[in-house]
Every structure is written in structure tokens, then in C-alpha cells.
Amino acid sequence: MTSSPIVAITEPAAGVALVTMQDRIHKNAFTDALIAELTRAFAALGTRADLKTVVLTGYDNYFSSGGTQEGLRDLFDGKFVFTDRDLYSVALNCPIPVIAAMQGHGIGGGFVMGLFADIVILARESVYTANFMRYGFTPGMGSTFIVPEKLGIALAGEMMLSAANYRGEELQRRGVPFAVLPRDQVLMHALELARSLAQKPRMSLVALKDHLAAPLRQKLPAFIEQEVALHALTFQQPEVRERIETLFGQ
């Protein structure tokens, strides 16, 4: 299987593809290169008749750190909208089940991308945040849909409004419906689940995923449209540009 320096693709078991984001320079931020490689990987893997599941993970203590500072500047300047770079729905639209082994920090869009997987596993030590409002603009990438859908409306509202950081162990105490394990056990658990899925007929897996994902796929576009409209409103504030320049990476 073809890999790139920032996205490694291996097959640790029959029927299982492991996609590892490993852009250490940018901490798996959404650079143009990472977006292109991940999109290409999922497009290719989804057509493989011999594959039954995909595991998506990061490296060391990073799953994905979300948008880059340059990307946020471009959003502020109106050079693109987040729908131009649709990374958020690659897991949702993959025909076979996707397991997000979020062993490392999931920041902003990086956290949201993981939540679009069919099965999510978090690490007790890692930080997860929907931190869009930290910079003064409203959440995008389908956050206002998938975060409440997966975490519940109360916790999701708190996360998005406060833009606070949450350790996996705190989210576990708050009742998130995911496995939350020590970091060094996350990928191992994900691969065990993947091997279990790979024992099932591919046609049945595809049919069931399509059935389970159908309501999400149907509802998501309306939320995306609303988020784009909110971005057009909230990105226009000078305070947003100032926050992007002064708070990014802190």
C-alpha cells in the first residue's frame, strides 16, 4: 500500500487498513498536504473490495491539532470556506467502518474529524477540545452537528461555548459513550476491534454502516450550510484576526 511521509498506510491484519497521520513538523495540523493525503487515502481504501475496516490514528501524543494558523488567516480573509477542503466527512462517507484511535490530543477540527468515525476511542491523558470560540469565531467542520450527536447536547454545548480543554479522563467521568483508555492501549484496542470487524462479511458491514450513517449523512448538509453562514458573520470581527495572531499555539 502506498504511503507518504505524512500519512502511512499499512495492513496489520487481513481486511484491516491502518492509516497513521505522522506529520511531526506540524503536529498533524490540517496543512494542504495532510488534507490531500488523507483524502486520497480514504478514497482509495474505500474502493478496496478486500478491506473491511479502516483504523485512523496519529503519532505519539498527537492525533490531530486541527487548523493551521495560515488556514485560519485565509478563512478570515475570505480566501476559502471550510467546505472547500472537506476533510471532516471522509470517515463518515467511507463505505466501510472507520475506527478513530485518538491516542493523542485532538484539537478543534482534529477532534471533530475523529468524531465522524463510526467507533471512537480516546486516551485518558490526551486533551480534546472544540476550541473554535477561543479565536472568537463559531465552530465549523460540522462541529455543531457531530459534537452534540456523539457527546450529548449539554456537554457539547459547554465544550463549544467555553472552548475549554478536556482530558480524556474528565470526559470519561462526564459519561462520554466511548472507550477511554491509557494512551498506550488505544491503538491496540482499536486493532482488536478492527480484527473482530474483519471477521464479518464485507457486504454486511457496508450495508449496516450505510444504514447507521444514513441519518447523519442526511442531516449534516443543513448544519454545514448554517455553519458557513455563521462564519460569514463571525469572522468579520477585527478581534478574531487579533486572536488568531496572538493566541494561536498557546
Q: Looking at residue 68, what is its pLDDT?
A: 84
Q: Is residue 89 part of a domain?
A: yes
pTM of the model: 0.95
Q: Is residue 76 part of a domain?
A: yes
Q: How many domains does the chain have?
A: 1
Q: Is residue 13 part of a domain?
A: yes
* Percent of the chain clearing pLDDT 70 (strictly above): 98
Q: Is residue 2 part of a domain?
A: no
pLDDT for 205 beyond 70: yes
Q: Is residue 31 part of a domain?
A: yes
pLDDT tens digit string along 58-79? 999 999 999 888 888 878 787 8
pLDDT for 215 beyond 80: yes
The amino acid sitting at 149 is E
Give the confidence band of 38 by pLDDT, cuts at 50, 70, 90: very high
Q: What is the mean pLDDT of residues 120-129?
A: 98
Q: What is the mean pLDDT of residues 16-21?
A: 98
* Percent of the chain clearing pLDDT 90 (strictly above): 84
Q: Looking at residue 236, what is its pLDDT?
A: 85
Which amino acids are annotated catalytic?
231
Return d(Cα 81, Cα 104) in angstroms, integer.
27
Q: What is the mean pLDDT of residues 209-225?
A: 97
Share the mean pLDDT of the chain: 94
Pick from 159, 150, 136, 7: which is nearest to 72 by CA? 136
Q: Looking at residue 3, what is its pLDDT?
A: 65
Pick from 86, 89, 80, 104: which is nearest to 30 by CA? 86
Give the confidence band of 247 by pLDDT, cuts at 50, 70, 90: confident
The answer to whether residues 128 and 110 touch, using CB atoms and an 8 Å cutoff, is no
CATH number for the domain spanning 83: value is 3.90.226.10
Q: Looking at residue 2, what is its pLDDT?
A: 59
Domain that holds residue 99: 7-183
CA 168 to chain centre: 15
Give the confidence band of 1 by pLDDT, cuts at 50, 70, 90: low
The answer to whether residues 68 and 26 touch, using CB atoms and an 8 Å cutoff, is yes
